[in-house]
Amino acid sequence: MHHPRDIVVETIMVEHSIADREPSEAIVDMSEITELTPELLISAYAQGIFPMGMHGRIAWYSPDPRGILPLDAFYVSKSLAQTARSGRFEIRIDTRFRDVMEACADRPDGTWITPAIVDAYEHLHELGLAHSVEAWKDDQLAGGLYGVALGGAFFGESMFHRQRDASKVALVALVERMREHGFSLLDIQFITPHLERFGAVEIRRDDYLDRLAVAIRQECQFGDE
């Protein structure tokens, strides 16, 4: 398991400071960079920046406000809690990371999860920094999510489901695991009505960056290694 301090990172150079940009605006055009290295990705996440494949290029974002899911205010309905406890889905960690990413990318209306992003995050996964939480049923991958873990922060990237409630159960498992392992920050990037039902909120970017600075200095381990 790699800790963010164990990897030499490069500071992303931007034309203006993050604070000068409009909310949710791309801050860096990375079209001239041909490789998304682990060092570059970790440096970005440590600064509150994340990539998305947009219109044939990689754009980098630091939204203001920022969406987070507070672990101490995570809400689970009674019916979902019953489903999660019932054993209807088996939760597995990191057994089919690339398959989870590709399932998240399989959307009829298009996706920001490009092949280059899949390859880059698979490399992070090999380093023990990117993880998948998977919901299985009858030995078939029914749903799941993936993200990046640095210190005590988990950056949720995307989720999918092939069976009802599978991704929701994976989210419940993610939060339970984060609590058990001492994590303090669950970043969801943007608010959606779906995540609001779980207690997601928006906070100012400055507040987010303060929380992030504390979280990434924690010594937490997400995987089972």
- DSSP line for 9-30: --PPP-SS-GGGSPTT-EEEE-
Q: Considering the domain boundaries, does residue 122 fall inside one?
A: yes
Q: Considering the domain boundaries, does residue 10 fall inside one?
A: yes
193 and 162 assigned to the same domain: yes
101 and 139 assigned to the same domain: yes
53 and 123 assigned to the same domain: no
16 and 74 assigned to the same domain: no
What confidence score (pLDDT) does residue 225 get?
Answer: 61
Residue with tokens 């959307």: 107
Q: Considering the domain boundaries, does residue 221 fall inside one?
A: no
The contacts of residue 59 (CB under 8 Å, 6+ apart) are: 26, 28, 29, 30, 51, 52, 53
Q: Is the pLDDT of residue 36 over 90?
A: no
Closest by alpha carbon to 45, among 2, 16, 86? Answer: 2
Q: Considering the domain boundaries, does residue 99 fall inside one?
A: yes
> Which one of 42, 61, 80 terminates a domain?
61
- Length of the chain in terms of residues written: 225
pLDDT tens-place string over residues 109-154: 888 999 999 999 999 999 999 999 999 999 999 999 999 999 999 9
Q: Please state the domain count of the chain.
A: 2
| Cα 94 to chain centroid, rounded | 14
Domain of residue 24: give its range. 4-61
52 and 93 assigned to the same domain: no
> Which one of 17, 44, 61 terminates a domain?
61
48 and 103 assigned to the same domain: no
> Which one of 61, 83, 101 terminates a domain?
61
124 and 211 assigned to the same domain: yes
Region of residue 139 (phi > 0: left; psi between -120 and 50: alpha; otherwise: beta): left
Whether 132 contacts 144, CB under 8 Å: yes
Q: Is the pLDDT of residue 87 over 50?
A: yes
| Cα 79 to chain centroid, rounded | 25
The contacts of residue 43 (CB under 8 Å, 6+ apart) are: 9, 10, 11, 12
Bridge partners of 136, per DSSP, are 90, 141
Q: Calculate the average pLDDT of the chain.
A: 87
How many beta carbons lie within 10 A of that of residue 44, not counting itself? Answer: 24
Q: Is the pTM of this model over 0.95?
A: no
73 and 93 assigned to the same domain: yes
Q: Considering the domain boundaries, does residue 77 fall inside one?
A: yes
CA dist 172 and 177 (Å) reads 9
130 and 55 assigned to the same domain: no
Q: Considering the domain boundaries, does residue 222 fall inside one?
A: no
206 and 160 assigned to the same domain: yes
52 and 106 assigned to the same domain: no
72 and 57 assigned to the same domain: no
pLDDT tens-place string over residues 94-107: 999 999 999 999 98
How many beta carbons lie within 10 A of that of residue 221, not counting itself? Answer: 13
CATH code, domain carrying 197: 3.40.630.70
